[in-house]
Structure 1
Amino acid sequence: MTCPIILNFDKSVGEICHAKTIDFTQWQDAIRFGCTKKKFNQFKGVLQQFLPENHGTVLMGSGDYHHISLLLIENLAKQYSAENPIQVVIFDNHPDNMRYLFGIHCGSWVSYVASLPFVSHVHVLGITSHDIGLSHFWENRWSALFHKKLTYWSLDVNVAWAKKIGLGHAFRHFATTDDLIASFLSEQYHSAQPVYLSIDKDALSEDIIHTNWDQGKLQTYHILDTISSIKPRIIGSDITGELSIWQPSSWFKRLLSSLDEQPTISPDNLINWQQEQHQLNLTLLKALAV
């Protein structure tokens, strides 16, 4: 069994038996939430120095680090190509495909993944965020959606407008979470393409877990059922969505963080909710173990 990797930016994951921890706390302020492409590429070089060639699921801490998934997926370029492609399946309450003019951040990385020549398609499952609603349509990056390389799987948000501009195929809407997962797994049933799986736990209901972000409606069994169904095809995976308290040193990041209205977390809740997170991580790692 390949060991899990903890990229320790924010000390939120804690200790996991048999996992290898890589200390990146000195990068927290530079990378968290977002950074310039120059800084992102600098970190890419550092990550490549420390990340083992063969490893298990990567845990990255807060969802503020979800853009690091791009670097993990890019590492697969040596093994896959346009002739031998992979799909990327993402659980997230947000599309993570928004415009960001200042580099790359946790809400803008998906378009870069979709543009990789060895990625045939990206699926984002569990979106309830109004980021894909009419009022925010102009903020989305359109290329991957129009070129049929990206699909949003959503509920509780009105996406009827997408059909009017020829994007009905990319904006899938469902009445229930069970319907969403059942439809996705039905479509995947006959696919043999390898899958990279990225899990942001903000796709889960607050009845299950608490994260730094507004959350979706999925239950743990939706993720576990998906893992079970596609497990023979999974060639890599990561987990984000931990809880941590962060005060950016940059006024710009403080501003952006305030605009996203991340909830304030009390110290007592932080301890209790991180313990819940830890148990969920163990459940997910057990399901993903090979």
Structure 2
Amino acid sequence: MKKQLIIMDFTGVYNYEPFIRNQNCIWLDCRHLYGTECYCDEEGAASLKRLIADYPAEGIHFIDSGNYHYLTKFWTDKLNYPFSLLVFDHHPDMQPPLFEDMISCGSWVKDMLDTNPYLQKVVVAGASEALIRAVPDIYRDRVHFYGEKALKQEETWKRFASEHVNEPVYISIDKDVLNPESAVTNWDQGSLSLQELEQLLAVVFRHEKIAGIDICGECSATLDLFEEKREAAINGRANQELLELISSFRTPTEL
């Protein structure tokens, strides 16, 4: 399967990140859409689903800032076979939504567990231990957590490396799992280095079939042009490294 690269542009931030230059990619302009930031209402959801209707989940999707992380649900709704979800995120994204008729960047994992019949298991890596403790017990038999602090311990790395699933894995990466030296986001961040994230990803790529990948965690624009350029340079380097790592592996699905 060809590695299809899709850029979903909500904020214009990718225009400042050199990693995308000279890439053969599909650019989806989302800047004209309403009802999509953080919370996605019915109109916004319908517009986004129409926008991605012709593209498969089996590819690499850059989906802008963490405000749009719920797009993972829309991409994985396209999978019509059993799969597991691996999320690298400083937040478990399993909060009950404030509005029942909306999906949000903080509730989408819970929504997937509640509604997707093909989702077998969720693995969340790098989340804050405090936020993990707040996850309702009803989901814990289907969700495995590798907390931020726990990932600093060798024993946790061994457990992560030995975790195996029989079905393909969809990987979702929010760069807020990284420390501020490795990425700059508009949410509070974790402490993983980019090298540590890449080592964890390499373990998965070596052992699992990959159904698709998305990456978010860009930093929204500010009024400080110098700061914007600095942030875009840091995030662009992280995106470039992640894209090179992903492209270097051949999995059984040849993603």
TM-score, normalised to structure 1, is 0.74
- Native 8 Å contact 1:58 1:239 kept in 2: yes
- 1:120-139 Cα shifts (integer Å, max 9, x gaps): 10111001263334xxx3xx
Structure 1: unaligned runs, 5 residues or longer? 157-173, 247-264
- Native 8 Å contact 1:195 1:235 kept in 2: yes
Q: Which residue of 2 aligns with 1:10?
A: 11
Q: Which residue of 1 aligns with 2:69?
A: 66
One-letter amino acid matched to 1:11? G
Report matched runs for 1:91-170 at 5 Å.
Answer: 91-102=88-99, 103-115=102-114, 116-128=116-128, 130-133=130-133, 137=134, 140-145=135-140, 148-156=141-149
What is the CA-CA distance between 1:104 and the residue it aligns to?
1.4
Q: Which residue of 1 aligns with 2:218?
A: 242
What is the CA-CA distance between 1:19 and the residue it aligns to?
1.6
Report matched runs for 1:122-271 at 5 Å.
Answer: 122-128=122-128, 130-133=130-133, 137=134, 140-145=135-140, 148-156=141-149, 174=150, 176=152, 179-188=155-164, 191-231=165-205, 232-245=208-221, 266-271=224-229
Q: 1:93 to 1:40 in 2, by over 3 A?
A: same
User: What is the CA–CA distance in structure 1 between the aligned matches of 2:189 and 2:70, rounded to whole Å?
Assistant: 18
User: Is 176-185 or 55-64 further displaced after alignment?
Assistant: 176-185
- 1:143-193 Cα shifts (integer Å, max 9, x gaps): 322xx111222134xxxxxxxxxxxxxxxxx272654443212223xx332
* Structural RMSD (CA): 2.2
- Native 8 Å contact 2:178 2:192 kept in 1: yes
1:35 aligns with 2:40: yes
Q: 1:53 to 1:95 in 2, by over 3 A?
A: closer
User: What is the CA–CA distance in structure 2 between the aligned matches of 1:267 and 1:130, rounded to whole Å?
Assistant: 35
Q: 1:66 to 1:22 in 2, by over 3 A?
A: same
User: What is the CA–CA distance in structure 2 between the aligned matches of 1:282 and 1:178, rounded to whole Å?
Assistant: 28
What is the CA-CA distance between 1:229 and the residue it aligns to?
2.1
What is the CA-CA distance between 1:221 and the residue it aligns to?
2.2
**Aligned residues, how many?**
237
- Native 8 Å contact 1:5 1:20 kept in 2: yes
What is the CA-CA distance between 1:240 and the residue it aligns to?
0.2
- Native 8 Å contact 2:13 2:64 kept in 1: yes
Which fold has the larger relative contact order, with Cα–Cα distance below 8 Å and residues 6 or more apart in sequence? Answer: 2
- Native 8 Å contact 1:2 1:54 kept in 2: no
What is the CA-CA distance between 1:244 and the residue it aligns to?
1.2
What is the CA-CA distance between 1:2 and the residue it aligns to?
2.1
Name the larger-Rg structure: 1
Moved over 6 A (4+): none
Matched residue of 1:13: which SS?
helix
Q: 1:127 to 1:21 in 2, by over 3 A?
A: same
User: What is the CA–CA distance in structure 1 between the aligned matches of 2:136 and 2:56, rounded to whole Å?
Assistant: 32
Query: Percent of counterpart pairs with the same letter?
Result: 26
TM-score, normalised to structure 2, is 0.84
One-letter amino acid matched to 1:33? C
- 1:239-281 Cα shifts (integer Å, max 9, x gaps): 00011137xxxxxxxxxxxxxxxxxx84321211111211211
Q: Which residue of 1 aligns with 2:242?
A: 284
Q: 1:186 to 1:55 in 2, by over 3 A?
A: closer
Q: 1:274 to 1:184 in 2, by over 3 A?
A: same
Q: 1:144 to 1:40 in 2, by over 3 A?
A: farther
- 1:16-43 Cα shifts (integer Å, max 9, x gaps): 411211111112x52011123x235413
What is the CA-CA distance between 1:222 and the residue it aligns to?
2.5
